[in-house]
Amino acid sequence: MIAVLRRCLPAWLLVLVGLWSAPASAEHHVGTLDTVGSDTMAGLILRWGELLSEHYPGLRVQLQVAGSASAPPALTAGTTLLGPMSRPMSEEERQAFVDRHGYPPREIVVARDALVVVVNRHNPLSSLARREFDAIFSETHYCGAERGIHQWQALGLDFPAGPIVLHGRNAVSGTHGLFRREGLCDGSFRPEVNEHPGSAAVVEAVADDPLAIGYAGLNHLTPGVRALALRDPEGRLHEPTPLAVRRDDYPLARDLRIYVNQPPGEVLPVAERTFLELVLSVEGQAIVEEMGFVSLPAASLARQRRILQPTRDET
Amino acid sequence: MHDSSSSPLLRRRLRQGRDRLATALITAGGIGVIAAVMAIGVFLAVEVLPLFWSSSPGEPEVSLASLWLPQPYPGLDEPVYRWQPALPEGEPGPRFSLAPLAWGTLEAAAWSLVIAVPLALGAAAHSALFMSRRLRAHIKPTLELLEALPGVVIGFLAGLVLAPWLERHLGLGLTLLLLLPPGLVLGGALWSRLPGRVRQRLPLGWSALWLLPWLLLLWGLANGLAPWLEGWWFGGDLRTWLAAHLGLDYASRNAIIVGMAMGFAVMPTVYALAEDALSGVPKSLAEGAQALGATRWQTLWRVVLPAAGPGVFSAVMIGAGRAVGETMIVLIASGNTPLMTASPLDGLRSMAASIATELPEAAPGGTHYRLLLLAALLLFVFTFLVNTLAEVVRTRLRRRYRRLGGTP
């Protein structure tokens, strides 16, 4: 309920992490760094900021959460050097940045996330094919179903009996867009889908109703719901397990990124640099797991670190 | 001492100056409010107008027909009403039909009035005419205080407590609906059969209190009857039965839930205004009627209610205005499904809720943005008309009371 409340508040959310304290030992580790962007990643950034202030009491993170779409304009305008986003930057957004600064933003992947289809914990359904998802959720059936599935019996279940009750995110969210592209083959959702302001609300609604099905972010799973495995056309099942998400073996996995405004040949200010080092450290990745996302393997962490080298040429 | 002659004059001047200042401030305030209201209307109109006579490149075309009539869309068999504003880049245009939003707004308002008006008017009539003065002195302010309850609180209770509960206890809900009205009538009938001594202990003016145990008893009875009713009549589960026999899907966030929550929000307003209108009816009328032998019911129905009719009407109008503009309750309790169905068990999506969720994301100057402002303008005009109508009717009522020799 608190999670829902939080999401219903106006999109402006200003969070201050850490306190100014006497910078005695780490003289040069002093400063405030701003981030503007994704609300999916708000909790992550917040926890990373706490970790940062623990290690370097002079540093603090200031976080503005207004959705992924708010990151590119802030980066372009120069109001922030770090822009967390739960989706890749679009070509237009990248071009606007290049036009202003003369070089592209650096993109580092900081964690993996997945979107899951959830049903009530009493629901015996274990897997879903994309065609079935489309038949349940869309009115267009672009993925090839002949007609819609509106009853649980049509999926071959004895229980629950009755109409399928649909829950989802509202149209402005990235989750909604991704499911529309991947799950509905670019079709459109049925107007019967209950639109909730946040993934937590979707999960809560599904947990309340045995007839419900919905889609949400992996980190919002609760004991009241079960995430379904996705069945590909060959009949293989893809469970949303951390391993499958990390290996890209789960179709609805995605990267969580931070876009960095770092001119070629220069290093970032100390606050930003320290923060990103921490994010890509073992400790930082432990926080990723703790928040319900999936951490990156060591090899790809090293690759992300190389992206931040000052000498790296951007193409 | 030496200025004793000039001091009264000075003081008068001072007082006149103060009066003039106060008058000026009050006038300025009044004009300011009117100007602000007009400015809102003008701003909305100016922002909305380009929608119809200049279309910016890359933005979907909008016409009166595309807003209010069913449209054909790729992938669908027949023309439909759709409000699907945000589609990913490179998609065939968004679908902008205001019809489902207008429908949702009116449907939500209608259901909330269906629930609020009988209860509020009943309560108003009872507390204005039958209730004991002492009890009324407590009950009326309490009910009016409920008006201050924020919509978001009521919305949360409806969306996160009432909706899941009713979903699980649909049978009980129906049983209560069937049992309560006859149960209360039965309570009245039993009371009139009671011996006079007991009846004196339970005076009509205090029935609001001594009916409470009776209500609890009915609740308990419904609780016992519900599983039996559901099993015997509806084959075990009312929700499945509805879907199988009537083709009605029960959406957990539906028009009835919205109606109950918003009815609850509207009720104190309607009650307070209707109560004022009813208790403002000059006492001479009611007393005269009763002196001529009319019963309490006849007095209420034939004398007091017609006299206060315009006031009651304006109370309902103001309730309707509030219900149409209410945002948080619909946003949380309605499921936000832009449907155009008459079934009260389906969800709905109102204009106000759409504005609240979508306006922060809509690009200023774009079609989506202007359409949301058009919805805002429609809401503005509607509530403005309804409130003006209510006010006109009320002023007329006040004049009538004065003619009849009443106090207010």
Residue closest to B331 by CA, chosen among B41, B108, B8, B62: B108
CB contact under 8 A, A194 and B251: yes
Contact yes or no for B337 and A186 at CB 8 A: no
- Taking residues B397-401, report their average pLDDT: 80
User: pLDDT digit string (tens) for B300-313?
Assistant: 888 888 888 888 98
| Contact at CB, A194 and B335, closer than 8 angstroms | yes
CB B258 within 8 A of CB B340: no
Between B282 and A4, the higher pLDDT residue: B282
Q: How confident is the model at residue B24 (pLDDT cuts 50, 70, 90)?
A: very high
Name the closest residue on chain A to residue B341, using Cα atoms.
A192
B146: Cα separation from own chain's centroid: 13
Interface of B with A in 147-176 (CB under 8 A): 152, 156, 160, 164, 167
What distance in Å separates residue B151's CA from the closest CA in chain A?
Answer: 13
Q: What angle is formed at CA A221 by the lines to CA A220 and CA A226, rounded to 5 degrees? A: 150
| pLDDT interval class at A285 (50, 70, 90) | very high
Q: What is the mean pLDDT of chain B?
A: 85
pLDDT (average), residues A200-226: 90
Q: What is the dihedral of CA A6, A7, A11, A16, to 10 degrees?
A: 40
* Contact across the interface for A177 and B332, Cβ inside 8 Å: no
Per-residue model confidence (pLDDT) at position A117: 94
| pLDDT-wise least confident of A257-261, B171-175, B248-252, B371-375 | B248-252
Kindly state the tokens that stand for A127.
């897997």
Q: What is the pLDDT of residue A133?
A: 92
**Rounded average pLDDT over A1-23:** 40
| pLDDT of A312 | 55
Shortest distance between the Cα of B368 and any Cα of chain A, in A, equals 12
Three-state SS at A62: strand
**B88 vs A4, A170, A177: nearest CB:** A177
DSSP calls for A173-204: SHHHHHHHHHHSTT--B-TTSEEESSHHHHHH
As a whole number, the mean pLDDT across chain A is 83
**Coil vs helix vs strand at A76:** helix
DSSP element (H, E) containing A147: none
Q: Per mean pLDDT, which range of A99-103, A307-311, B225-229 is the poorest?
A: A307-311
Chain A CB contacts of B247 below 8 Å = none
Q: Hey, are the CB atoms on A209 and B164 less than 8 Å from each other?
A: yes
| CA A282 – CA A284 distance, rounded (Å) | 5
Residue A14: the pLDDT is 37
Residues of chain A with Cβ-Cβ distance to B170 below 8 Å are: none
Q: pLDDT tier at A62 (50, 70, 90 boundaries)?
A: confident
- pLDDT category at B377 given cuts 50, 70, 90 is very high
- Of the candidates B89, B160, B253, the beta carbon closest to that of A90 is on B89
Give A 84-113 residues with CB within 8 A of chain B.
Answer: 90
Model pLDDT, residue A97? 92
Confidence of residue B210 (pLDDT cuts 50, 70, 90): confident
Taking CB atoms within 8 Å and a gap of at least 24, the contacts of A296-302 are A296/A109, A296/A110, A296/A111, A296/A112, A296/A246, A297/A246, A300/A109
From chain A, the residues in CB contact with B337 under 8 A are 191-195
Indicate yes or no: CB of B337 within 8 angstroms of CB of A163.
Answer: no
d(CA B117, CA B332): 23
Lowest mean pLDDT among A98-112, A130-144, B83-97, B157-171: B83-97
Model confidence at A18, in pLDDT bands (50, 70, 90)? very low
Q: What is the pLDDT of residue A8?
A: 41
DSSP annotation of B299 reads I
Which residues in chain B are contacts of A188 at CB distance < 8 A?
A: 73, 75, 82, 84, 87, 95
Is the model's pLDDT at A26 over the cut of 50? no
Residue A281: name the closest of A302, A261, A260, A267 by CA: A302
Contact: B361, A197; criterion CB under 8 Å: no
Chain B contact set for A205 (CB, 8 A): 252-253
What confidence category does residue B146 fall into, taking pLDDT thresholds of 50, 70 and 90? confident
pLDDT at residue B112, rounded to an integer: 94
Stretch among A168-177, A250-259, B21-30, B369-378 having the lowest mean pLDDT: A168-177
pLDDT at B360 over 90: no
Among the partner residues A4, A181, A195, nearest to B337 by beta-carbon distance: A195
pLDDT at residue B405 above 80? no
Please compute the mean of the pLDDT values over residues A224-231 and round it to a whole number: 93
Mean pLDDT for A254-279 is 90
Q: Is residue A172 less than 8 Å (CB to CB) from chain B? A: yes
The pair phi, psi for residue A64, each rounded to 5°, is: -120, 120
Among A138-152, B150-164, B195-209, B253-267, the minimum mean pLDDT is found in B195-209
Question: A21-25, B262-266, B356-360: which range is least confident on average?
Answer: A21-25
- Note whether A180 contacts B88, CB cutoff 8 Å: yes
Q: Within an 8 Å CB–CB cutoff, is residue B88 touching chain A?
A: yes
Average pLDDT in the B204-226 region?
Answer: 87
What is the per-residue pLDDT for A1?
46
Beta-carbon contacts below 8 Å between A and B? 99
Rounded to two decimals, the ipTM of the complex is 0.70
CA B126 and chain centroid, separation: 20
Residue B4 has pLDDT above 70, yes or no: no
Confidence at A21, pLDDT banded by 50, 70, 90? very low
Chain B residues closer than 8 Å to A193 by CB: 337
Residue range B160-169: average pLDDT? 85
pTM of the model: 0.77
- Residues on chain B touching A161 (C-beta within 8 angstroms): 237, 240
Q: Do B252 and A165 touch (CB under 8 A)?
A: yes
| pLDDT for A15 beyond 50 | no
pLDDT of residue B54 exceeding 80: no
Residue A95: its chain B contacts at CB < 8 A? none
Contact A188 B86 (CB under 8 A): no
pLDDT value of residue B87: 57
Residues 6+ apart with CB under 8 A from B102: B351, B378
Interface mutation vs chain B, best among A94, A167, A188, A190, most B CBs within 10 Å: A188
Range with the lowest mean pLDDT among A176-185, B69-78, B116-125?
B69-78
More confidently predicted of B383 and B398:
B383
Q: What is the pLDDT of residue B58?
A: 60
**pLDDT at residue A25 tops 50:** no
Report how far residue A305's alpha carbon sits from residue A288's, in angstroms, rounded to the nearest whole number. Answer: 17
Q: How far is CA B285 from the centre of its chain?
A: 31
Residues 336-395 of B with CB under 8 A from A: 336-339, 346-347, 349, 357-358, 360-361
Average pLDDT over residues A48-72: 85
Rounded mean pLDDT of B393-406? 77
Contact A165 B156 (CB under 8 A): no
**On the CB side of A177, how many CA atoms lie within 13 Å of its CA?**
16
Q: How many helices (H) and strands (E) does chain B have?
A: 18, 2
- pLDDT above 70 for A9: no
pLDDT tops 80 at residue A290:
yes
